[in-house]
Structure 1
Amino acid sequence: MDTRKLAYFVQIVDSGSITKAAAALHVAQPALSQQLSALESELKQRLLIRSKKGVEPTAAGHTLYRHAQIILRQVDQARADVEASGAAPSGRVSIAVAPYSMASSLAPRIITEVNRRYPDIVVHLSETYGGVLSEAIKNGRLDMALIYEPGEIRGVQFTTMIVEDLYLVANAAADLEPGRREISLREVSDMPLFLPEKIHTLRQLVEAGLGEHQLPLRLMGEVESVPALTRLLEANIGATILPKSAAEALFRKGEFHALRIVEPTLRCKIALCTPDHEPLSEAASAVLLILQEVLLEMLEGKVAG
């Protein structure tokens, strides 16, 4: 099995059509079909289902597609690392953060430090769900992520960076006692809440805490946009639940209450997610060290404060 066949196969799956893939690869369609047939013969598996609409991968095809992406990325990275050996780290490094976390507030510091130390590294920042991020790291589409730790997932490793209590965040004009700093979970269950979708670890933690004490969740709506969440809380039609660091990073002080949830306390973990077995590129390793430094500085600042 050679990498050219794998690259052809990935392009066919991505294009959804052998004809479109042939055009993108600048290869004659009969030659591309021949390469695909040779790959299927070698693996003794049917990899694609052909129809009038195009092609779809079989179960075996999906498995090969996942592995092929990793293999091709490693080959490209090996070539780049060898070419850049002895030179300053360079290239593109992809970092993702989970919504509703303080991680996005670290972006300016991370970008500034990377640009100062390694001007030839380009950092690509994105924001999406923890489960999706873990899968993207396993498949090699992301280098690393800062997410709410979901528990053990095969193929990635989590390094817990922060353990925080969860807080109810509400408009300062909400019907809450002035100067209050804590609120019971039972009281929280009576309040209309805006939370992310169930795929989000933060939502799962809240539901698990309520369920363990047979308390209902009064869900006002599912919101994945921080600007939209801010506007909803400004309108005082509901509250949300976040770790304090995220609340302080996302909402203006003085305009919102942040009350620690007690009886019982709910906690979450912010973790650094990296590949379990695949080595990071030289550029990604350099950025990872900077990311860890920035997180450590933030933690030391909180302890000092």
Structure 2
Amino acid sequence: MDFKQLRYFMAVVEEGSISAAAISLPLAQPALTRQLQLLEESVGASLLHRSRRGVTLTAAGEAFHRDVGRLLNQFEQAKRNAQRVSEGQMGQLRLGVTVMHLWVPRITQLLNDFRHQYPAVTLKVISLLSGPQIEALRRDQLDAGILFFPPEDDPGLCYHPLYEDRLVLVARAGSRLAQQPPRRLAALNGEDFIWFDRSATPTYHDRLIHAFQRAGFTPHVVQEGTDNATMLCLVAAGMGCTILPEMTMAGAPAGVVSHPLEDLDMALPLMLVWRRDASLPAVHRLIDVAESWDLRS
């Protein structure tokens, strides 16, 4: 039994005779008769009453006709779904992003535009820092990621710039640093500083440290936070000051302020990153949306 025989059966029922069905298919009548016989043998029951006036369904044929109708409809839907997945119109896209990035209007614009253009694609957003996102991409646990500083020496990854942020000093409102903000990084020497563990985002960490060293600043680390949100809360609690991307202030708790520093001019390019060998069509549709307009403008 195959789908071809099922379609022959449905055509015969619809036309009411084997000869009429043979013409509509088209197929030679003896070949159609033989296919119907093979189908009945496969089913193990007589499906059609044959007479000079045409064909009618047996009791078994009635039940078989109902089920085959549903089966063929499901098969056609399965084909349409497969085609839509292959075109990136359907399926699931696993996207890595930090919670803070979801507050950036340019990034929400990207995600909203993608959802508008491809509503049948389920966007599974997974909250991860930049370092773990890279590892998840390499292990095929993510389809794409939004992060700072993807490794430039990894030929297996591709990226597209989405947004460029800057670094700012973050301090508790009412503190001396907030009331008399310094102009340069070196003025922060000796201040209680909140930092993060290098293992979370090594490339980002190292670039910041190099920027600090060039400016003559050595952080006096008194507390570490696991992510930007935690670091903001520690600043709000009066544990110290820190340096963070300016966009994080969109989600800052009450009592936290930020100030730019003249010599803290390191650009923070936020990138859409994906595997060079990515085969999921939905990934390429997301890339198309990102490349269709300039998110940095």
Map 1:220-299; keep pairs closer than 5 Å.
220-247=222-249, 249-251=250-252, 255-263=255-263, 265-276=265-276, 278-291=277-290, 296-297=294-295, 299=296
The two structures, once aligned, show a CA RMSD in angstroms of 3.2
CA distance in 2, matches of 1:161, 1:194: 28
> Residue 111 of structure 1: CA displacement?
4.8
Unaligned segments of structure 2, at least 5 residues: 1-78
**Alignment CA distance shift 1:85-1:157 (3 Å):** closer
Query: Does the residue aligned with 1:145 lie in a helix, a strand or coil?
Result: strand
> Residue 91 of structure 1: CA displacement?
0.7
Map 1:71-220; keep pairs closer than 5 Å.
83-84=83-84, 89-98=89-98, 101-105=100-104, 109-154=109-154, 155-176=156-177, 178=179, 180=181, 183-199=183-199, 200=201, 201-213=203-215, 215-220=217-222
Give the aligned residue type for 2:116. Answer: R
CA distance in 1, matches of 2:157, 2:174: 43
CA distance in 2, matches of 1:239, 1:137: 33
CA distance in 2, matches of 1:262, 1:139: 40
CA distance in 2, matches of 1:86, 1:267: 37
CA distance in 2, matches of 1:158, 1:109: 18
Give the aligned residue type for 2:130. Answer: G
CA distance in 2, matches of 1:110, 1:160: 12
Q: How many matched pairs?
A: 215
Deviations 1:14-58 (A, max 9, x none): xxxxxxxxxxxxxxxxxxxxxxxxxxxxxxxxxxxxxxxxxxxxx
**Alignment CA distance shift 1:86-1:239 (3 Å):** closer
**Alignment CA distance shift 1:191-1:93 (3 Å):** same
> Residue 177 of structure 1: CA displacement?
5.7
> Is the CA contact (8 Å cut-off) linking 2:223 and 2:239 kept in structure 1?
no
CA distance in 2, matches of 1:133, 1:289: 21
> Residue 207 of structure 1: CA displacement?
1.4
Map 1:51-66; keep pairs closer than 5 Å.
none
Unaligned segments of structure 1, at least 5 residues: 1-78, 301-305
**Alignment CA distance shift 1:171-1:291 (3 Å):** farther
**Alignment CA distance shift 1:285-1:228 (3 Å):** same
**Alignment CA distance shift 1:109-1:211 (3 Å):** same
Q: What is the TM-score when the length of structure 1 is the normalising length?
A: 0.59
Query: Does the residue aligned with 1:262 lie in a helix, a strand or coil?
Result: coil
Map 1:24-39; keep pairs closer than 5 Å.
none
Q: What is the TM-score when the length of structure 2 is the normalising length?
A: 0.61
Identity value in percent: 14
